[in-house]
Chain A
Amino acid sequence: MNNFPILSFLTFLPILGMVIVLILPKRQELSIKVTTLVITGLQLVLSIILLMNYNYSAGGINDANSFQFVEKFTWINIPGFSWIGNIKIDYFMGVDGLSTPLVLLTAIVTFIATISSWSIDKSLKGYFAMFLLLDTGMMGVFVALDFFLFYIFWELMLLPMYFLIGIWGGPRREYAAIKFFLYTLFGSIFILLVMIGLYFSSMETLANGSKVFTFNLLELMNPNNYTATGILSPLNPNNLRFIAYIGLFVGFAIKIPMFPFHTWLPDAHVEAPTAISVILAGVLLKMGTYGILRVSYPIFPELTYQLSWFIALFGMINIIYGAFCAMAQKDFKKLIAYSSISHMGYVLLGMSALNTMGISGAVLQMFNHGTITAMLFLIVGVVYDRAHTRDLDAFGGLGKQMPIYTGFVSVAFFAAIGLPGLSGFISEALVFLGGFGSQTTRILAIISTLGILLGAAYMLWTLQRVYLGQLNDKWKELTDLTAREYFMLVPLTLIVIFLGVYPSPMLNLMNASVNHMVKLINDAQVFYSSIHSF
């Protein structure tokens, strides 16, 4: 087990699948679908194997020795010339308590999205090839530990997403796809610049004692590695770390998406096919918050500490603003999209608390929101497939016509509202406990509790408009769930209930890393204040 490169398999298995799909003749539609299903299924099995062999006590974050399933070798190594020095890029993968839940989430959501993609009927081959490429990009982001590698996967995922929305989307798909692509690319530029800046500011010591510039995230987290003159080096009194932090944050924030960079999301969701919405909300949004935790926090702990109030502020705005906007929507899918913005606000609020409860809550919320919102988008998909409209006012009384479906809807809605017994409650409660526990974010956390009320208001109102009341005669023909839809909703429902009743398995997975992160930021505080007095 130790030598088996499980992370590489997890990441590149979909590429293999893509090759197979591309080789298969166009008319072999079933084979194409089955190939994708088998590949994503295998990926799910692999991620479960990974989970079974996971060492719960290892912290990770900035400690290279406690990362697990590490694969590391020099990938690109160009001997040094002039001032650029040695260009060295590692193929460096590994997981800790921060990434493992998201690896698992990616595997689960992608598998379910594959089932949901069954109803795609337009140029299947291209769709599934792109779908699998997207899968590789997402998985890669969560396991990469070299900034350059991370960036490659980050960008890799853009392209298939662009085509998946732009070709298989709704009426305004091109607008939405371009908006998504450009917006994210815009953010990526900042990430790229900071990456290059960091590269030229820190030196990694090789085994032979020589020092080279590095993209290795863990080396970048070590304040002792920075050169005296690097533009992003804390040792340089004229460093640009503050600007770099903001830039990096914006780059990641666009993905979350954080107010005011969020408007690409509703458009992308409305146009994307159901399966892609599920992936978009279920996995892609988490890459933003994951990036902040993986890159921004440990590399710039002193700025994280100083700016935590602002992170919390934006979290609060996301929660409340997103909720109000959700309430104003007439399109079912757009409403769920805005609810995602609101719920991602909890992640921001939790991580800004910089204490165990807050960060635990944030990471748990990433996982929980991933499963809950995947359910919500599937639910919209179910009704859209049948009624071909998402106008909230066009419905009513579906609870009577489709009782089993409505049962799943209730679970998902109440999970989104944060009802105890379902997973959303635990993460939200931890976020609030953490946010209130930190003096910096206390007041913002209290204001954010309004989100609990607003969430209930718009969700229950939606439940009433679509599922309660008298059945509109137009929908007398609608049928209840098909076997395939059961197959998508049942596992998610079980996860949502299980983690709501017994969150320990997921929390135990994260605890060591979360505590390590909290310690890192607190320790860094001491270290950095010894260099400069802020």
Chain B
Amino acid sequence: MTENGIINISLAILFLPLLGFIVTLLLGKKIKSIYLFEILIISVTLIASIAVAFGKLSYFVDNKIITEIQWFRLSDTISIKLGFLIDNITVLMLFVVSLISALVHYFSIAYMKGDERYNRYFAYLGIFTFSMNGIVLTHNILMMYIFWELVGLSSYLLIGFWFEKKSASDAGKKAFIVNRVGDIGMFAGILILYLTYNTFSFEQIFSSIAAGKLPFNSNFWLTITGILLFMGAIGKSAQFPLHVWLPDAMEGPTPVSALIHAATMVAAGVYLTIRIFGLLTADAMMFVAIIGMLSAFIPATIALTQNDIKKVLAYSTVSQLGYMVMALGVGAYKFAFFHLVTHAFFKACLFLGSGSVIQAMHHEQDIRNMGGLRKKLPLTYATFLISSLAISGIPLTSGFLSKDGILAGTFAFGSLTGYWIFAVVGFLVALLTAFYMFRLIIITFHGEPKDLHKYEHAHESPFVMAMPLTVLAMLSVFIWYTPNPLNADQGWFFNKWINSPTLSAPNETRFNFMKSEEVKEHNSSTTEITYSEVYTEAMHSAHYPAMFLSLFVAVAGMLTAFVFYQWKKVDVEKLANSIKPLYNFSLNKWYIDEFYQKTFVAGTFGLSRVLGWFDFKVIDGIVNGLAELTRKFAFFVGAFDRVVVDGLVNLTAYISGFVGLIFRRIQTGKVQTYLVLVIFSIIILLFLFKA
């Protein structure tokens, strides 16, 4: 396979789902079975992505394949380009996205059966896959923003797929708008990058930074740029404080939740952070780590008390994404990506499993009405259990490897910088995760059925639904990533595929342990930039302590769940009542939604009403007032004209008329009268002059 071959297949991977979208959407009304075309397309895409991954990892494992074309130009110096950057992370992501997308397609064949907009649903899955693959393949930040918005669109369409439901259309709108808040930050970051580097290309930006060119020539602005770009990730990966849209997004069909809101799209924020990792300064990384830590912790505490099976999983997703983000913040770059991959599989499995449960229970989502389902849904139970073990970090699962790596990373970070808080929160979240996952499993699958009627009618899902569950559960086992179930470092995933990131932020802005050691290569002036040995060693020495500790907290969390819900040694109701304020705080999601509703949403609407009023009453009022004034003035001028000017004219005329009237009498036309008058006049005159 040649590089061109890889590029061409990648092109196919990108555009095939778009073709599927267009065909399925346009013919959806006419041809009932057109969804099969989309199924075919996604299957081909999956095969192609396997081919690309295979080709890239076998033949070009150390290469970055970059290709670009001009999109449009404005002048000789301004040319906007589109292009691919294909490295190992790209092909692995392509595989993950295509695989989960394909599995969700198959799962949906049965799950969505009978929906009145069946074909349109598959069309939307097509445009999602297209957009997501675009994010994965892009070599520049503008193109990433473009596909970033397009996944936002597909997410909007799929969350609000059952748009007759107000809650669904509300959730779609909320997701889009909340994401846009983050996107504005990301866009501002893009503006700074373009202004500084005159390009959107990651590679060119990094090499310019490495060459010492900085936004507004300051390290501070490099930090700000990093944080602004990361804001996009806060939105898309539902990180605190923009996480509020993700739980609501559960209004969408459950397979969609698995694909978009658990495995792939929400991981795009992590992917973005991975792509821009090279330009993050220590301050920016600290910001990332804090956001990740809060996002890991807060939703984990909320997940403890939720009763909707999908809500528990949604908060768990935010929490796990927080792990990945925190991992990036503390420099555990490889493990962040590793956790992204493993989480994608086990979380997709959990969501599809919840879909299987919901389907079996006739659209019941409240776990308090379930129970004992393991007998009715043995396969769903088994796969759900495996994935739960993975997310809890129990050995032999993939999640154990990746989570252990992240925790070791926070451990190493603590020992190197003294910021132990990330490690503390990391382990605490691991404890909470194990607890709420097994709480979910025990209440749903163990014990006695609560709703007998629904329980009686529950039955295991058909093959198209069972198969994806099985595949995903199998992928949650360690063997796919490393031969050593306790140490991922020795597997191909780490040794061969995922390399340490190349850092380009100036040395003085980095954490001490990330400062580069300049290794001058002979006959070239380039410097190899690597992590310091210190970090590798710290990771190494943190590995076993972290592993045992994480295993301990995971088991502790599980056991607590069993004590509470299986063996019922503790009265949960009583416990909840004794810590009522805390319990309510968790149940009500820390009141964050209420807070936003009362401040930002109400504020925006309030301001819009005020400005609307201002526009109507004041601005338009002035216009109308001026018009009125002009009319009044015109009326006054008219009156003046009529009364005074015309009055004077009329008065003159009147006076002349009056005078005429008087003198007319004199003008009799009789000569004798005139004669008499003349004589009288003369006499009077003579009389007057005599004096």
User: A interface vs B, CB < 8 Å?
Assistant: 179, 182-183, 259-260, 262-264, 321, 324-325, 327-329, 356-357, 360, 397, 399-400, 403, 414, 419-421, 425-426, 429-430, 432-433, 436-437, 445-446, 449-450, 452-454, 456-458, 460-461, 464, 467-471, 502-504, 507-508, 511, 514-515
Contact = CB atoms under 8 A, between A and B. Distances in A.
Given A399-B163, A419-B150, A468-B163, A460 B615 contact: no
A503 B79 CA distance: 12
B177 A457 contact: yes
B173 A461 contact: yes
Nearest to A512: B75
10 contacts: A182-B627, A325-B608, A356-B74, A360-B74, A403-B29, A445-B191, A450-B184, A452-B183, A464-B169, A468-B169
A449 B192 CA distance: 13
B195 to A, nearest CB: 6
B153 A325 contact: no
Contacts of B170: 464
A423 to B, nearest CB: 12
A429 B146 CA distance: 10
**Which of B142, B180, B605 gathers most chain A CB within 10 Å?**
B180
Interface in B607-647: 607-609, 611-613, 615, 619-620, 622-623, 627
A514 B78 CA distance: 13
Contacts of B191: 432-433, 436, 445-446
A460 B619 contact: no
B145 A400 contact: no
Nearest 7 A/B pairs, CB to CB: A328-B612, A327-B608, A420-B146, A468-B169, A263-B620, A468-B163, A436-B191
Contacts of A419: 149-150, 153
Nearest to B152: A419
Interface in B161-219: 163-164, 166, 169-170, 172-173, 176-177, 180-181, 183-184, 187-188, 191-192, 194-195
A327 B180 contact: no
B652 interface: no
B160 A433 contact: no
Contacts of B75: 356, 511, 514-515
Contacts of B146: 420-421, 425
B135 to A, nearest CB: 12
A270 to B, nearest CB: 12
Contacts of A508: 72
Nearest to A432: B191
Given A464-B170, A469-B164, A502-B72, 15 more contacts: A321-B615, A400-B163, A400-B164, A419-B149, A425-B146, A425-B149, A426-B72, A436-B192, A436-B195, A452-B180, A453-B177, A453-B181, A460-B156, A464-B173, A508-B72
Contact of B173 (A432, A450, A460): A460
B248 to A, nearest CB: 14
B194 A433 contact: yes
A437 B197 CA distance: 12
Contact of A503 (B72, B156, B176): B72
Contacts of A464: 169-170, 173
A514 B75 CA distance: 9
A403 B187 CA distance: 33
B123 to A, nearest CB: 11
B604 interface: yes
A360 B183 CA distance: 23
Nearest to A397: B164
B74 A460 contact: no
Given A260-B619, A357-B74, A507-B73, A449 B184 contact: yes
A445 B611 CA distance: 21
Given A325-B608, A356-B78, A470 B164 contact: yes
A425 B160 CA distance: 23
Contact of B612 (A329, A425, A433, A450): A329
Nearest to A418: B149
B163 A469 contact: yes
Given A503-B72, A507-B73, A511-B74, A324 B160 contact: no
A325 B612 contact: yes
Contact of B195 (A397, A420, A437): A437
Nearest to A262: B619
Contacts of A470: 164, 166
A471 B169 CA distance: 13
Interface in B595-610: 604-605, 607-609
A511 B73 CA distance: 8
A287 to B, nearest CB: 20
Contacts of B607: 324
Nearest to B163: A468
A456 B611 contact: no
A460 B177 contact: yes
Nearest to B611: A324
Contacts of A471: 164
Interface string B76-105: 001000000000000000000000000000
A304 to B, nearest CB: 20
Given A420-B150, A436-B195, A457 B74 contact: no
Contacts of A449: 184, 187-188
A507 B620 contact: no
Contacts of B78: 356-357
Contacts of B169: 464, 468-469
A308 B97 CA distance: 47
A263 B612 CA distance: 11
Contacts of B622: 260
Contacts of A450: 184
Nearest to A467: B163
A154 to B, nearest CB: 21
A457 B601 CA distance: 10
Contact of A432 (B163, B187, B620): B187
Contacts of B609: 328
Contact of B604 (A356, A457, A503): A457
B608 A469 contact: no
Nearest to A264: B623
Contacts of B173: 460-461, 464
B245 to A, nearest CB: 13
B160 A468 contact: yes
Nearest to B601: A457
A263 B619 contact: yes
**Which of B72, B150, B620 gathers most chain A CB within 10 Å?**
B72
Contact of B180 (A182, A356, A453, A507): A453
B150 A421 contact: yes
A321 B184 contact: no
A456 B160 contact: no
Contact of A507 (B72, B164, B176, B613): B72
Contacts of B150: 419-421
Contacts of A452: 180, 183-184, 187
